Amino acid sequence: MEFYTQYKYLIVPFSVWFFIQLFKLLWDLVTTHKFNFKRILGAGGMPSSHSAVVCALATLVARAEGVTSPIFAVTVIFAAVVMYDAAGVRRAAGKQAKLLNKITETPGLTGVQVTEKLQEVLGHTPTQVLVGAIIGVLVGLIA
């Protein structure tokens, strides 16, 4: 138990990330009937493991240090940046990748020879980010 207490700020966030990614892998297996190991490390999907990780960490810090502590402020700002990036920048990049993949697959439209498709699932919808955040807060409160 002493090990957990010393390292819970690493153990809890990494554990929530692992179990959410495992859930996505299993959900993908059930819905597509295909085992896609890339799903365990891949970005995107429901819920956002990125949001869960940063919210679990911020909640752990809030419980230990209080909501007026400087380290809590750092974790909240870090969480906000990560969640904004997941729902904003990375989601937009995923939409662009999808469009570029369609363009390169259209015969005669481009003279570009493409050897691999761009990854289309990069970001999250706001709902996926919100659900991930809720899971993270709950895990942080329980841990």
Which helix (H) or strand (E) segment holds residue 142: the answer is helix 126-142
pLDDT (tens digit, 0 to 9) for every residue of the chain, 143 residues total?
799 999 999 999 999 999 999 999 999 899 888 888 777 777 778 899 999 999 999 999 999 999 999 999 999 999 999 999 888 766 666 677 777 767 777 666 656 666 677 665 667 788 999 999 999 999 999 99
Q: In the structure encoding, which two tokens stand for residue 61, read together?
A: 């810090």
Class of residue 100 by CB neighbours under 10 A (exposed 0-12, middle 13-18, buried 19+): middle
Contacts of 36 (CB under 8 A, 6+ apart): 25, 28, 29
